[in-house]
Amino acid sequence: MIPSHAPRLLLVSNGHGEDLSGAHLGQALVRLGARAVAFPLVGHGEAYKRFGIPKAVSTRSFPTHGMGYQSPGGWLQELINGQTVYGLGRSITAARFARHCDAVVAVGDVVSVVVARLSRRPAFCYLVAYSSHYEGRLRLPWPCGRSLQNERFLGVFSRDRYTAADLSTQLGRRVEFLGNPFMDAVRVSTVPLPVLPHPRVGLLPGSRLPEALDNLALMLAMLLHLPRYPGGDSVGLAAGLVKDVTVDHLAAVAAKRGWRLQRHRPRCPGAAAVELVHGSMRVELYWGRFADVLHGCQLLVAMAGTATEQAVGLKKPILQMPGAGPQFTPRFAEAQRRLLGPAVFCGTGLPGSVVNAKDTARLLMLLLRDGDLPTICLRTAHERIGRPGGSKAMAQAILSGA
């Protein structure tokens, strides 16, 4: 059991999405009276900073940022820029630092699990990176399974119901599904996107440069194959962008695809001040408002990881456009479809080809008119993601000693 006096917990996470979940979990722990310290193994752990959770050490960022389904070039890049060696050193440091804490909370995959095991402290684990939906039966990499069977792990939490049942049988111990903390990041804004009289489609090009710009270029090319309507009011378009994507970046990408950047005074509260324009077609641009874009759209064209999972949790259909990577490759996209199930769709043709652009545009219009899709999305959200509130439920389980 964790000591009853304001326990000090170390959150060890290894990836951008994992940091987001770790930050929400850390915030819930603090609200329940614990002290939380973060140790992001890759990247700067910006999510922890936003929630005021202190980091144990200084950080460093890398282009691939710990993505699992990378292209061969992504893995080579990790070796060349020293990310692999850096990661090993960080893991050892994290295990040593954890010995000064009451317990370790591993958020991610085998790396964070091993860190928790090596710390020799009471541990908990949220396996956000693994799911039995990928192959039907989860094959945990060595030594993840053996570590989780150790008596020092007081609680193990999965990312979906199916995985919880599968791992409970495999590990011979209780594995719980209490929801996913990353869903607590998509609450409705006080200033949502303006309501439209027609459907709005969201564009999620990802969060890492330069890949996000390449992805957006593919999306803009696809949009040119949508049917033309008088006035251009059949479908609204909104892009959710990270702050690293600048106006200059967008202007350069747009020009290559025949689009232009346009600034204007917002028409109403919550509306965009910058748009990409091509004829009668307009894409509203929103920085740092992913939750608003997710809530305000009926369908998402996505080339992202965690944001796509959040959209599925909000009962939204997903239309993929695989790219060149290093993250959102065809391999990553295919794995995402297995993970998230029947609410995720993908056009035919090679990534970046005209065939793929045309088929994706065709699918987009078909999905917007599919009357059965809301029921499919509701069931998928319940089974694969769960309801918001996972942070608090998991924090309560941790502080009670699971």
Residues 278 and 394 in one domain: no
User: pLDDT tens across 245-256, in order?
Assistant: 999 999 999 999
In a domain, 3, yes or no: no
- Which run of H or E residues covers position 197? none
Residues 264 and 144 in one domain: no
- End-to-end distance of the chain based on CA atoms, in angstroms? 8
pLDDT at position 9 over 80:
yes
Instruction: Report the pLDDT value the prediction gives residue 190, as an integer from 0 to 100.
Output: 82
In a domain, 190, yes or no: no
In a domain, 1, yes or no: no
Residues 336 and 394 in one domain: no
Residues 395 and 324 in one domain: no
Instruction: Report the pLDDT value the prediction gives residue 86, as an integer from 0 to 100.
Output: 60
Residues 145 and 20 in one domain: yes
In a domain, 189, yes or no: no
Strand partners, 302: 204, 320
Instruction: Report the pLDDT value the prediction gives residue 378, as an integer from 0 to 100.
Output: 96
CATH number at residue 314: 3.40.50.2000
| Inter-CA distances, 326 with 128, 207, 216, 272, 331, Å | 20, 12, 15, 30, 11
Determine the 3-state secondary structure of 371 from DSSP.
Answer: coil
User: pLDDT tens across 37-58, in order?
Assistant: 999 988 788 899 999 999 987 6
What does the alpha-carbon distance between residue 305 and residue 308 come to, in Å, rounded to a whole number? Answer: 5
In a domain, 358, yes or no: yes
Contact (Cβ atoms closer than 8 angstroms) between residue 323 and residue 305: no
User: pLDDT tens across 361-394, in order?
Assistant: 999 999 999 999 999 999 999 999 998 899 999 9
Residues 229 and 133 in one domain: no
Residues 156 and 77 in one domain: yes
Residues 126 and 150 in one domain: yes
Q: Per the structure block, which two tokens stand in for 290?
A: 């992913």
User: pLDDT tens across 133-176, in order?
Assistant: 999 999 999 999 999 999 999 999 999 999 999 999 999 999 99
pLDDT at position 81 over 70:
no
User: pLDDT tens across 247-282, in order?
Assistant: 999 999 999 999 999 998 888 888 999 999 999 899
Residues 369 and 395 in one domain: no
What does the alpha-carbon distance between residue 122 and residue 6 come to, in Å, rounded to a whole number? Answer: 15
Write down the number of H helices and E strands in the chain: 15, 13
Q: Which domain holds residue 165?
A: 8-180+388-399
Opening angle at CA 145, ends 330 and 89, nearest 5 = 75
In a domain, 133, yes or no: yes
Residues 238 and 119 in one domain: no
Q: Per the structure block, which two tokens stand in for 289?
A: 């408002």
Domain count, the chain: 2
Closest CA relative to residue 95, chosen from 34, 39, 156, 17: 39
pLDDT: which is higher, 231 or 151 = 151
- Rounded to 5 degrees, φ, ψ at 276 are -105, 130
Instruction: Report the pLDDT value the prediction gives residue 80, as an integer from 0 to 100.
Output: 44
Q: In what order do the strands lie in the sheet with 274-278?
A: 260-263, 274-278, 281-287, 236-241, 200-204, 299-302, 318-320, 344-346
Label the pairing between strands 274-278 and 123-127: unpaired
The residue with tokens 């009471």 is 122
What does the alpha-carbon distance between residue 179 and residue 194 come to, in Å, rounded to a whole number? Answer: 30
Instruction: Report the pLDDT value the prediction gives residue 45, as an integer from 0 to 100.
Output: 87
Q: How confident is the model at residue 93 (pLDDT cuts 50, 70, 90)?
A: confident
Residues 12 and 123 in one domain: yes
Determine the 3-state secondary structure of 134 from DSSP.
Answer: coil
In a domain, 157, yes or no: yes
Residues 62 and 135 in one domain: yes
In a domain, 186, yes or no: no
What does the alpha-carbon distance between residue 154 and residue 2 come to, in Å, rounded to a whole number? Answer: 10
Q: Per the structure block, which two tokens stand in for 106?
A: 């591993």
Strand partners, 200: 236
